[in-house]
Amino acid sequence: MEAGQATAPRQSAQRLPSWLAGLLPLVVLGAAIAIFVALDAPGLQRNGVPIEEIAVEKTVLRPGEIELAVRNDGPDAVQISQVTVNDAFTAFTQTGDEIGRLGASTVTVDYPWIEGQAYEVALVTATGGTTATAIDVAAETPETGAGFLGLMALVGIYVGVIPVAIGMLWLPWIRGIDPRYVQFLLALTVGLLAFLGVDALLEGTDFAAQGSQAFGGAALVYLGAAVAYLALVGIDGKLRGRTQRERDAMDSASLLNPSEGAGTGAWRLAFLVALGIGLHNLGEGLAIGSSYAIGSLALGATLIVGFALHNTTEGLAIIAPVARGEGGEMGGGMRLRRLVGLGLLAGLPAVLGAWIGASAFNPSLAAFMFGLGAGAIAQVIVQIAPSVRDSAGRLLHPLAVSGLIAGVGLMYATGLLVSL
Amino acid sequence: MKFGEDKISRRKLLGTAAGATAALPLLHESLPHQGVHDQFARAAGEEHGGGGAASAAHKGAGHRGTVGRVDPRVNGFDPQEILRDYDRGKVVRDGGRAVREFELVAEDREIEVAPGVKFAAWTYNGRVPGPTLRATEGERVRIKFVNGSKHPHTIHFHGIHRDLSDGIPGVGVGNIEPGGSTVYEFEAFPFGLHLYHCHSTPLAEHIAKGLYGAFIIDPKKGRPEADELVMVMNGFDTNFDLANEIYAVNTVAFAYHDQPIQVKRGQLVRIYLVNILEFDLLNSFHTHANFFDYYPTGTKLEPRDFTDTVILGQGERGILELRFPYTGKYMFHAHVSEFADLGWMGFFEVTD
């Protein structure tokens, strides 16, 4: 009897193609939802009045005009009926009359704003609710043409590529120093990265608070962090696997493939550090680009110099893992190309970020990208940590602790320059 | 600004990027008001002076004010009609004495206070302001009140009368519960321009939601023949922040701006002006290119002042008399300029 009962379901399952059996619950779910909606949620009654939540994702100022990118953040449709600027009703147009859940609309307000003044634009909905957005310092938003993208690329190169490259020039020096101090430098790198990771988390959380909460808000930062962390674990695992299989193979055509040759462990680490820093610089470029696009950032020499000093330390972080002279059997040209590749990997995303930030900024996207940076950095720290251990296997030995503190301190100190 | 100053954030240090794009769910009254007013004043100056960023383009010079129109047929009442609509009640004989009878029904009703902006109002007879009740000094006045609202209400009349007819909770009939009714009765005294409003608590809420109206007691000898207009200056707190988002005369923002009040050149125009604004201490009335005789509360027949601007506190009212010597379009508005920008602005159109 028992055997018969057990085989019966197996037989029926065999009659259905397995992909169809997998789809069955989804089909039933879809039908259930359709019936539920068609019957207008039987047994349930709405309690209370519609909830209106509007997020202003972007503000663009043109002469005589203020444009707001608006998203409906709440569960119910919203209609914007009037607009006030600094407590005065003002003429406006909008792209959509009624904004559905998560729907977007562009509200263009006709207003003779004055450069340098502060404004508050309030959207008045059909129910009389108001959503206010502040323009702290009015300034014309730059047009995102080719010239502007070129400028953003230049800024990205100034604050990302060049400083990282300069920082990597410490390589010959650290190859000559006492190996004990290399441990100190690796600890310093962990300190630098920890600072960047915390910084990315905080910045991401700030952006998340500005963006549409319906997209997840601060959860986007942690989601991004988890995705990047897991992705780097995956990449790392793949690199290690290849190292095993192709230990003797040389693939000199690849610039960034750190899997080949002796001493690949160190290069793999350097690659991951560069990748993590690159993801962080993506977020940093985005912040710079968006700030510049809305006119709140003056690209003065002091700011650029500050960023350059700040990010030079990132170059040091990339080369610290290869300080022990591994990969020495590689040709000088190849080593150089590999270093250049790592530098670009860490620095170039700043350009990409600046472009995105300047042209297609969205706070929720920015939050997610900062999350990616934070997660990548966390993974890199986990990767580097073992190299910091001393001969006794201790992680937080005095030299490592002083390196960590020095790293955080260095980032903090150079970060102050950016505030100027 | 919503971001703490204590966070280590490089982007924040870049400038003020954060605040500029942030959707701050703040109530519009939460910014320091004086600063906002100063900024607007400068902005307006620049606009008229032709300077600043705006003058480079044709944009920004367009019309200020609300977008669209309020349909009076949908709303159930028309500010144009409220101007000259007087409820004189019905005179009945009661024990050999003439009594002027009125009926007011409290009713919850959604009204449109600016194009597309709805307000869950409490009304007398379905309109805001309620009917302009009109009696003559010394008459016996009887007001039947029916509460068709979902909330308890009263009617409190300004005037001189016994406490039992004062229409406040706890005295006389007190609060009239939903579905209930009562009769208030008193002598119309003194002559002048008065008002009536609900006095249930919370008082500010019961008034601000729309339960008020003008109450005119004419002097026995009457006043000179004139084109008489009722203007009840009010405001609406649409987002429950205890501040008005919309200001108006007779409820609809910019109603007389978009559709000017028609008057005749040379004719005496008498304005019964009542300030029932809540949340703001003062309101004002200013005529362009003209002056008026002002009779505070209308209780004396000689004007106190000849001016073009008067300031009225909450519950204050007065009678204005003026003639327009020229044809054309003449603005009138609150000289509290913020109120003007938020709806309290209109025109007289003077024709022969």
The domain spanning residue B172 has which CATH number?
2.60.40.420
Boundary (domain end) residue, out of A103, A135, A167: A135
> Which of A254-268, A324-338, A374-388 is predicted most confidently?
A374-388
Residues A394 and A306 in one domain: yes
Boundary (domain end) residue, out of B218, B250, B278: B218
Determine the distance in angstroms separating the CA of B133 from the nearest CA of chain A, rounded to an integer: 30
Q: Hey, what's the torsion of the CAs at A373, A379, A381, A387, to 10 degrees?
A: -150
Residue A396 makes CB contacts below 8 A (sequence gap 6+) with: none
Residues of chain B with Cβ-Cβ distance to A303 below 8 Å are 14
pLDDT of residue B51: 32
Specify the amino acid at residue A129: G
Residues A105 and A252 in one domain: no
For the question of an ipTM over 0.90, the answer is no
Question: What is the pTM (predicted TM-score) of this model?
Answer: 0.75
Residue A2 counted as domain residue: no
Residue B334 counted as domain residue: yes
pLDDT of residue A79: 93
Determine the distance in angstroms separating the CA of B96 from the nearest CA of chain A, rounded to an integer: 52
Residues B104 and B198 in one domain: yes
Reported as a pLDDT band with limits 50, 70 and 90, residue A190 is confident
Residue A379 counted as domain residue: yes
Boundary (domain end) residue, out of A108, A135, A162: A135
Residue B263 counted as domain residue: yes
Coil, helix or strand at residue B308: coil
Residues B97 and B170 in one domain: yes
Residues A176 and A125 in one domain: no
Q: How many residues does the structure list for chain B?
A: 352
- Quote the CA–CA distance of A93 and B62 in Å, as a whole number: 12
A58, A89, A134: residue with CB nearest B341? A89
Which one-letter DSSP state was computed for residue A43?
A: T
pLDDT, tens only, B143-170 = 999 999 999 999 999 999 999 999 999 9
Q: Which of residues 226-285 of B touch A (CB under 8 A)?
A: 236, 238-239, 241, 245-246, 253-254
Contact A199/B42, CB-based, under 8 Å?
A: no
Of residues A259 and B173, the one with the higher pLDDT is B173
Q: Tokens 């349909």 appear where?
A: B71
Is residue B330's pLDDT more than 90?
yes
Residues A118 and A214 in one domain: no
Residues A129 and A154 in one domain: no
Distances in Å between the Cα of A115 and the Cα atoms of A91, A112, A338, B32 are 20, 10, 48, 20
Residue B136 counted as domain residue: yes
Contact A79/B57, CB-based, under 8 Å?
A: no
Residue B8 counted as domain residue: no
Residues A259 and A319 in one domain: yes
Residues B198 and B85 in one domain: yes
Residues B285 and B308 in one domain: yes
Residues A114 and A258 in one domain: no
Residue B124 counted as domain residue: yes
Is residue A4's pLDDT more than 70?
no
Determine the distance in angstroms separating the CA of B332 from the nearest CA of chain A, rounded to an integer: 17
Residues of chain B with Cβ-Cβ distance to A81 below 8 Å are 68, 114-117
Residues A251 and A291 in one domain: yes
- Quote the CA–CA distance of B294 and B291 in Å, as a whole number: 9
Reported as a pLDDT band with limits 50, 70 and 90, residue B30 is very low
Q: How many structural domains comprise chain B? A: 2
pLDDT of residue B65: 84
Of residues B269 and A385, the one with the higher pLDDT is B269
What is the DSSP code string of A204-235? HHHHHHHS-GGGTTTHHHHHHHHHHHHHHHHH
Residue A230 counted as domain residue: yes
Residues A235 and A334 in one domain: yes
Contact B209, B220 (CB under 8 A): no
Q: Tokens 């709303």 appear where?
A: B75
Q: Domain range spanning residue A404?
A: 146-418
Is residue B16's pLDDT more than 60?
no
Q: Two tokens at A292?
A: 């510049």
Specify the amino acid at residue A300: G
pLDDT, tens only, B198-224 = 999 999 999 999 999 999 999 999 999
Reported as a pLDDT band with limits 50, 70 and 90, residue A10 is low
User: Which residue of chain A comes nearest to B237, CA vs CA?
Assistant: A128
Residue A75 counted as domain residue: yes
Residues A302 and A380 in one domain: yes
Boundary (domain end) residue, out of A135, A170, A201: A135
User: Which residue of chain A comes nearest to B41, CA vs CA?
Assistant: A86
User: Which residue of chain A comes nearest to B12, CA vs CA?
Assistant: A203
Residues A157 and A178 in one domain: yes
Range with lowest mean pLDDT among A159-168, B16-25, B60-69, B309-318: B16-25
Residue B5 counted as domain residue: no
Residues A154 and A115 in one domain: no
Boundary (domain end) residue, out of B199, B218, B237: B218
Distances in Å between the Cα of A240 and the Cα atoms of A74, A247, A258, B91 are 46, 10, 10, 101
* Mean pLDDT across A85-110: 91
Residue A10 counted as domain residue: no
A119, A363, A415: residue with CB nearest B21? A363
pLDDT of residue A2: 45
Residue B309 counted as domain residue: yes
Residues B270 and B333 in one domain: yes
Q: Which of residues 305-324 of A touch B (CB under 8 A)?
A: 310
Reported as a pLDDT band with limits 50, 70 and 90, residue A109 is very high
Contact A117/B39, CB-based, under 8 Å?
A: yes
Residues B166 and B299 in one domain: no
Q: Domain range spanning residue B124?
A: 72-218
Pick the closest to residue A163 from A411, A408, A420, A419 (CA basis).
A411
Q: How many structural domains comprise chain A? A: 2
- Quote the CA–CA distance of A18 and A156 in Å, as a whole number: 51
User: Which residue of chain A comes nearest to B49, CA vs CA?
Assistant: A112
pLDDT of residue B35: 35
Which one-letter DSSP state was computed for residue A63?
A: T
Residue B316 counted as domain residue: yes
- Quote the CA–CA distance of A122 and B34 in Å, as a whole number: 17
Specify the amino acid at residue B213: G
